[in-house]
Amino acid sequence: MERKIKSIILAAGKGTRMKSEKSKVLHTIFNKELLGYVLDAVNNTGMAQENIVIVGHQAEAVEEYVTKNYDNAKCRLQSPQLGTGHAAFQAYEDLKGFDGDVLILNGDIPLLTAESLKKFIEAHRKSDAALTVMSAIFDDPTNYGRIVRDEKGNLKAIVEEKDALDAQKKIKEINTGGYLLNWEKVSPSFLEMTSDNAQHEYYLTDIVKWTIKHGLKAQSYVLENNEESFGINSKKQLAQAAKVLKERVLDKLLAEGVTIVDPDTTYISPETEIEPDTIIYPCTYIEGKNKIGKNCKIGPFARIRGGVELGEFVKIGNFVEIKKSKIDAHTNVSHLSYIGDSSLGSNVNIGAGTITANYNHITKEKFQTVIDDGASTGSNSVIVAPAHIGENASIGAGSVISKDVESNALALTRAPLKIFKNWFEKLKK
């Protein structure tokens, strides 16, 4: 029977280099929080029973995000913030009596994958180690703690840059800040931590020293891809991580048969599924979680904002924005339109400049628009939700529709055309 796993995610820091009042872990890539990427990586291993998120700066906002989006996660407050060891210790009471392995990760590493975590866990269990440190190899390891091994390859120590000897500074294996520990064996280390250092803080690396000192097996596991250890500490690093995620996604989609005309100007979130033979044209931005069928055409200059499901042969054209909508097969939303909180049937044609007006700014409510199979809207139409446009109904160009339209009907709200002859001559006079 496999040992149980729980995680501690460190998410209490402000991240002063972000130059933002917002908690660092709530900054987003593809409209998804950094902390969400880490929690998803842990959950997608299929092994995590529970995640304990340590909050501090903007604690209420971080806790609201966690509780709203993750059923198997809870938060514990670190106040005051006295170092990484002190942060992890805030989960100590929750883990009392736990018979399993505890994974400790930073909440600002959005590039870490579930696949790498699975390998990390497997290596820890195969070696029967009490503690395994997640490490990585860098050609330039400056400013990182170095992994020092003994002659058998076991972990001997983690030496910080400021304390490293010249020979140790040449070591390229570094500590990423990720740990996996046999909780029953290693948890006593948290009760023996001291803050006897210049910063008067409790460091998580002390649990490594304690493990080795007590004759327990400690080892490090080297990540196959060192970019997965990349922590976000500035807006520049946020942009760099976004670029890495983008390239990963595009490479995967291209290999799966999706045509991406210009990868340099195309951005697609990791949570978007796209089936083969769909074409993504330049300057398209797709964020959030979406499902796009076969043989669709999207863009150029299109934006999909999440919660979107497209059937086969759907066309999303120039300067179109879609959010939280389901669009069935063979429907066209060709250009300059906004479709939000809507359900569109098959063979629907949305004319240029059509808007589904779904938001009441006074009550802050959003409403649903339903357009059935075969219906069409003329250019510059506005459909005020909630509204139901029936099968094969037509909306005349320039109309504002605020009521349901029955099937096979034509709806018009256009004012009568008036022509004033010789208008130009009158203006001259």
Distance, CA of 425 to CA of 411 (rounded, Å): 37
pTM over 0.85: yes
Which residue matches tokens 């595009």?
A: 250
The pLDDT profile of the chain, 429 residues, written as one tens digit per residue, is 578 999 999 999 988 999 999 999 999 999 999 999 999 999 999 999 999 999 999 999 999 999 999 999 999 999 999 999 999 999 999 999 999 999 999 999 999 999 999 999 999 999 999 999 999 999 999 888 999 988 887 888 898 888 888 889 999 999 999 999 999 999 999 999 998 877 788 999 999 999 999 999 999 999 999 999 999 999 999 999 999 999 999 999 999 999 999 999 999 999 999 999 999 999 999 999 999 999 999 999 999 999 999 999 999 999 999 999 999 999 999 899 999 999 999 999 999 999 999 888 888 888 999 999 999 999 999 999 999 999 999 999 999 999 999 999 999 998 888 998 988 888 887
Distance, CA of 295 to CA of 275 (rounded, Å): 8
Residue 424 in any domain: the answer is no
Amino acid at 230: F
- Do 280 and 177 reside in the same domain of the chain? no
Among 308, 243, 312, residue whose Cα is nearest residue 277: 312
Q: With the C-alpha atoms ordered 286, 292, 294, 296, is the resulting torsion angle positive or negative?
A: negative
- Do 383 and 291 reside in the same domain of the chain? yes
Distance, CA of 130 to CA of 264 (rounded, Å): 45
Distance, CA of 292 to CA of 135 (rounded, Å): 37
Distance, CA of 36 to CA of 183 (rounded, Å): 25
**Positions marked catalytic:** 335
Peptide bond into 386 cis (omega under 30): yes
- Do 121 and 257 reside in the same domain of the chain? no
- Do 219 and 321 reside in the same domain of the chain? no
- Do 13 and 160 reside in the same domain of the chain? yes
- 189: helix, strand or coil: helix
Domain boundary (211, 229, 247) is at 229
Helix residue ranges per DSSP H, 74-182: 84-89, 114-127, 166-169
Residue 428 in any domain: the answer is no
Residue 418 in any domain: the answer is no
> CB–CB of 51/36 below 8 Å?
no
Count CA within 13 A, CB hemisphere, residue 122: 9
- Do 160 and 271 reside in the same domain of the chain? no
Residue 423 in any domain: the answer is no
Q: Which residues contact 424 (CB under 8 A, 6 or more apart)?
A: none
- Do 70 and 152 reside in the same domain of the chain? yes
Distance of CA 100 to the CA centre of its chain: 28
Amino acid at 28: T
Beta bridge partners of 135: 175, 222
What's 248's domain CATH number? Answer: 2.160.10.10
- Do 200 and 262 reside in the same domain of the chain? no
- Do 124 and 28 reside in the same domain of the chain? yes
Beta bridge partners of 11: 55
For strand 73-77 and strand 48-55, is the pairing parallel, antiparallel, or unpaired?
parallel
* Number of compact structural domains in the chain: 2
Angle between helices 34-43 and 59-69 (to 10 degrees): 40
So what's the pLDDT on residue 154? Answer: 80
So what's the pLDDT on residue 304? Answer: 98
Residue 416 in any domain: the answer is no
Distance, CA of 372 to CA of 390 (rounded, Å): 5
DSSP assignment of 244-261 equals: HHHHHHHHHHHHTT-EES
Peptide bond into 80 cis (omega under 30): yes
What's 85's domain CATH number? Answer: 3.90.550.10
For strand 272-274 and strand 290-292, is the pairing parallel, antiparallel, or unpaired?
parallel
**Structural domain that includes position 402:** 235-411
Helix residue ranges per DSSP H, 70-113: 84-89
Residue 384 in any domain: the answer is yes
Domain boundary (229, 252, 272) is at 229
> CB–CB of 51/12 below 8 Å?
no
For strand 315-318 and strand 332-335, is the pairing parallel, antiparallel, or unpaired?
parallel
What is the maximum span of the chain, computed from C-alpha positions, in angstroms? 102
Per DSSP, the chain holds a count of helices (H) and strands (E) of: 9, 37
- Do 51 and 68 reside in the same domain of the chain? yes
So what's the pLDDT on residue 1? Answer: 56
- Do 46 and 174 reside in the same domain of the chain? yes
Distance, CA of 104 to CA of 107 (rounded, Å): 10
Residue 425 in any domain: the answer is no
- Do 220 and 242 reside in the same domain of the chain? no
